[in-house]
Structure 1
Amino acid sequence: MRERRWETTTPLTFSQVLAVGERLAALGLKPAVPAQDVICYVEEWTVSAPDEFDQLDPWATEDVTLVHVREGWRGDFFLLAGAYHTVFQRYQDVGTYCSVSHPWRIRESLRRHEPRSMFWLGFRHAHSFLRIRLQTTEVITPGETRADSDRAEWLDERRAAFLDAITILELPIETLIEKEQVILRPADPATPFFCSWPDAFGPCQFEYNTTDSYEFLVPASKLAATFAQEPAGVRTYLTGFSEEALTDFAAIEPGARFAYRCSVHCPLDELLEVLEAIQPEGRLYATLCEFQTQAVLPEGDDASAIIGIVGLNGQFQIEARLNRAPLKEEAMGPWLERLIGYPVTYAPLPAFV
């Protein structure tokens, strides 16, 4: 689900972060306490070799993914994806996952959706998939009504954007509008097909699966070609592979930056140690407190809120993520600043990392 997100504007020490938790507790909320186990999400941890992941050995980890990052890439997507697919076939097993992301460009000029979108061509043990994601110019979450006057335009654009990708890929997917929502439906109801990442107008992402691991290599290359005039940010995600396999993947078109993402289980008061282990580029996220906003804002609409901790390069920020805004837009920043105790700015997360 799309989220509304704000973050503090100045760096904080870890002691100041813990003090925010105490502030929330004084309001009757139940934030995590220093000795409490939390799940910390790590991303963009740049390493020179896969075995550097051992730096996180003091803690339990899961969902470990090594990402090959190529910025400003101008290569042949078919050859790159095909090379990853070849290595994947040698090491595929239950639990292994490989996907390659590449931007694509919506050909029609739209107001509510960014022209730069993203797709993933992925390979799992028993199937391959294409995942298509759109990015909107503004986040309107499910249940928010502030864009209702422009709903028809949002719906028409959303349908047109998806139809553009579906046409290029030649996928048997129907697009329609029902009950003021965009609906996507495969021609064959038995097709494994998933819509996700919804906002107020329907899904912003769909995933189409097939048992033929070669089926989408050529169609995906056609979609990548819509971005051919610009350098592309391309990422490959590798999950569940041995070090031997990761070494073979690393030999594909050398020059990629290696970055890990994973979940780390640790006590809250060890977040600083985790951050030190993933410096300087690694970023971490952890939840400090979850609550319903009417617990502290009875006059507003009810929303689900998370006050989280963000760490980067030895410093911290506080983030606030909500499934909808419980107050009018102009009141959200001041209310969150009173709640957290620090200035905040509206800061949606990037759509494609």
Structure 2
Amino acid sequence: MRERRWETAGRLTFRDALAVGERLAALGLKPAQPVKDVICYVEDWAVDSPAEFDRLDQWATEDVTLIHAREGWQGDFFLLAGGYHTVYQQHQSVGTYCSISHPWRTRGPLRFHHPVNMLWLGFRHSHAFIRVRLQTLDVVTPGETREEARRNDWVDERRAIFLDAITTLDLPVETSVEKGGLVLTPADPVTPFFCSWPDAFGPCQFEYNSSDAFEFLVPASRLAATFVPQAASVRAYLTGFSESALEQFAAVQTGARSVYRCSVHCRLSELPEVLRIIEPQGRLYSTLCEFQTQELLPEAEEASTIIGLVGTVGGFQIEARLNRAPLKEEAMAPWLERVIGMSVKYAPLPPFV
């Protein structure tokens, strides 16, 4: 589900970040204490080799994914994806996952969506999938009504963008509008088909699965070709493979930057230690406090709120993530500043991480 997000400016010491938890406790909320076990999400930890992941061995980890990142890439997507698929076939098993992302461009003019979107061609055990995600100019979460007057325009534009992708991919997927929202359905109801990342107007992402591991190689390449001749940001995601298998993936096409993402189980007080390991490029996220906004705003709309810690080189920031805005737009930042005790700015998450 789409989220609304604000963050503090500048960098804080870890002590200052923990002081926000004390402030939340004074408001009657229940923030995590330094001794509490938390889940720390690590992203963009740059490594020279997969063996460097052993530096996190003192903690339990899960959802470990090695990402090959290529910036300014102008190669042949079919050859790149085919190379990864060839290695994947040699090492596939239950629990292994491989996908390759590439931007694609839709036709305009557009009022509510970016022309550049993202596709993922992926392989899980014995099947393949194609995933398509759109990027909106604004985040209007389910339940928010500030764009209600333009609902039909939002839905019509999104429907046209998805139809553009569906046609290029030659997928048997139908579009319709129900209760003012876009609905996507496969022509064959038994097809494993999933819609996700919804906002107020319907899904922003769909995933179509097939038991034929080769089915989407050519269609995905056609959709990726809509981005030509612009240089692309391309990523390959590898989960569940041995170090020897990862070495083979690295040889598919040299020149990629290797970064890890994973979940680390640690105490809240250990976040600075994790951050020191993943610096300078890595980022970490962890939840400091969760609450329903009516605990502090009994007269306002109900919303689920997460106050979190974000660690990057140089220190920490505080983030606030909500499933919807409980107040009018102009009142949101001032209210969050009163809760957190620091100035904040609106900072939506990037759509294609």
TM range (shorter): over 0.9
Instruction: Tell me by how many angstroms 1:178 deviates.
Output: 1.0
Letter in 1 for 2:221: S
Contact 2:11 2:314 (C-alpha < 8 Å) held by counterparts: no
Instruction: Tell me by how many angstroms 1:243 deviates.
Output: 0.4
2:348 aligns with 348
2:142 matched to 1:146?
no
2:42 matched to 1:57?
no
1:286 aligns with 286
* Aligned counterparts, 1:202-241, within 5 A: 202-241=202-241
Provide, for residues 150-177 of structure 1, a one-character-per-residue CA deviation record: whole Å limited to 9, x for no partner: 1010000110010000000000000111
Provide, for residues 228-285 of structure 1, a one-character-per-residue CA deviation record: whole Å limited to 9, x for no partner: 1200000000000000100000111100000000000000000000000101000000
2:32 matched to 1:32?
yes
| CA–CA distance in structure 1, aligned partners of residues 178 and 28 of structure 2 | 42
Letter in 2 for 1:101: S
1:299 aligns with 299
| CA–CA distance in structure 1, aligned partners of residues 109 and 286 of structure 2 | 38
Q: How many residues align?
A: 353
Instruction: Tell me by how many angstroms 1:319 deviates.
Output: 0.1
* Aligned counterparts, 1:101-140, within 5 A: 101-140=101-140
Q: Runs (4+) of structure 1 moved beyond 6 Å?
A: none
Normalised by the length of structure 2, the TM-score is: 0.99
| CA–CA distance in structure 2, aligned partners of residues 296 and 11 of structure 1 | 27
* Aligned counterparts, 1:1-353, within 5 A: 1-353=1-353
| CA–CA distance in structure 1, aligned partners of residues 260 and 90 of structure 2 | 22
Contact 1:276 1:314 (C-alpha < 8 Å) held by counterparts: no
Normalised by the length of structure 1, the TM-score is: 0.99
Instruction: Tell me by how many angstroms 1:81 deviates.
Output: 0.1
Instruction: Tell me by how many angstroms 1:109 deviates.
Output: 1.8
Of stretches 62-71 and 309-318 in structure 1, the one that deviates more from structure 2 is 309-318
Of stretches 107-116 and 236-245 in structure 1, the one that deviates more from structure 2 is 107-116
Provide, for residues 324-346 of structure 1, a one-character-per-residue CA deviation record: whole Å limited to 9, x for no partner: 00000000000000100111000
Contact 1:68 1:235 (C-alpha < 8 Å) held by counterparts: yes
Letter in 2 for 1:319: E
| CA–CA distance in structure 1, aligned partners of residues 297 and 284 of structure 2 | 29
What SS is found at the alignment partner of 1:146? coil
Contact 2:37 2:267 (C-alpha < 8 Å) held by counterparts: yes
Letter in 1 for 2:300: G
Instruction: Tell me by how many angstroms 1:108 deviates.
Output: 2.8
| CA–CA distance in structure 1, aligned partners of residues 10 and 85 of structure 2 | 44
| CA–CA distance in structure 1, aligned partners of residues 140 and 281 of structure 2 | 30
| CA–CA distance in structure 2, aligned partners of residues 107 and 77 of structure 1 | 21
| CA–CA distance in structure 1, aligned partners of residues 94 and 150 of structure 2 | 46
Instruction: Tell me by how many angstroms 1:10 deviates.
Output: 1.7
Contact 2:310 2:317 (C-alpha < 8 Å) held by counterparts: yes
Instruction: Tell me by how many angstroms 1:201 deviates.
Output: 0.3
| CA–CA distance in structure 2, aligned partners of residues 277 and 196 of structure 1 | 33
What SS is found at the alignment partner of 2:104? strand
Contact 2:285 2:309 (C-alpha < 8 Å) held by counterparts: yes
Contact 2:38 2:265 (C-alpha < 8 Å) held by counterparts: yes
| CA–CA distance in structure 1, aligned partners of residues 316 and 33 of structure 2 | 17
Letter in 2 for 1:288: L
| CA–CA distance in structure 1, aligned partners of residues 270 and 114 of structure 2 | 39
Contact 1:88 1:98 (C-alpha < 8 Å) held by counterparts: yes
Instruction: Tell me by how many angstroms 1:314 deviates.
Output: 3.7
Letter in 2 for 1:87: V
What SS is found at the alignment partner of 1:142? coil
| CA–CA distance in structure 1, aligned partners of residues 229 and 109 of structure 2 | 17
Identity %: 71
- Which stretches in structure 2 are left out of the alignment for 5+ residues? none
Instruction: Tell me by how many angstroms 1:298 deviates.
Output: 1.4
CA RMSD of aligned residues (A): 0.5
